[in-house]
Structure 1
Amino acid sequence: MGKPIYNRIKAVLAEKNRTNNWLAQEIGMNTNTISKWCRNDMQPRIENLVQVAKALDVDVRELLVSTK
């Protein structure tokens, strides 16, 4: 079984035709951090997740993998 997937940041970036670099610039984060989030190697803090949602113009819930 592979590693668990908690967020959908990579998928939403693709849906919006945006890149990790674009997101890093929009929210003032390091591109390496964004890459780790996209690979689910590391999870963003709630505050950062809200920033990502605002930058991508989506509901923050769209960035999370549903548990049901």
Structure 2
Amino acid sequence: MDENRDLNRIKVMLAEKKCTNKWLAEQLGVNATTVSKRCTNSSQTSLDMLSKIADALNVDYTELVRIKRNFGEEDE
């Protein structure tokens, strides 16, 4: 299992909100490829960009990531 994918919930939130990468890209003023890279962890997302994504999706930024604690135990 890809641990990074499990920590990054941008793609999950897009699906829950029934939004596309293209829509999010338009909201952020970036291209859809950039959003795709953020969703797949091909490119690291800065805290500033994470905040902008959260604003566009109308969610708290903490809903976009999961934190691992105690050397591997997932935060629930």
Shared fold by TM > 0.5? yes
Question: Which segments of structure 1 move beyond 3 Å, counting only runs of 4 or more?
Answer: none
Q: Is the counterpart of residue 40 in structure 1 residue 37 in structure 2?
A: no
5+ residue gaps, structure 2, are 69-74
Q: CA deviation at 1:44?
A: 1.1
Distance 1:52 1:4 in 2: 18
Please list the CA deviations of residues 21-41 of structure 1 after superposition, one character each: whole Å capped at 9, or x if unmatched: 000000111211100111121
* Aligned equivalent of 1:17: 18
5+ residue gaps, structure 1, are none
1:3 and 1:64, CA in 2 relative to 1: closer, same or farther beyond 3 A?
Answer: closer
Bigger shift: residues 2-11 or 18-27: 2-11
* Matching of residues 49-64 of structure 1 within 5 Å: 49-64=50-65
Identical pairs, percent: 44
Distance 1:28 1:4 in 2: 25
Q: Higher RCO, 1 or 2 (CA under 8 Å, sep at least 6)?
A: 1
Q: Which has the larger Rg?
A: 2
Which structure has the highest strand share of the two? 2
Aligned length: 68
- C-alpha RMSD of the superposition: 1.4
- TM (norm. structure 1) is 0.89
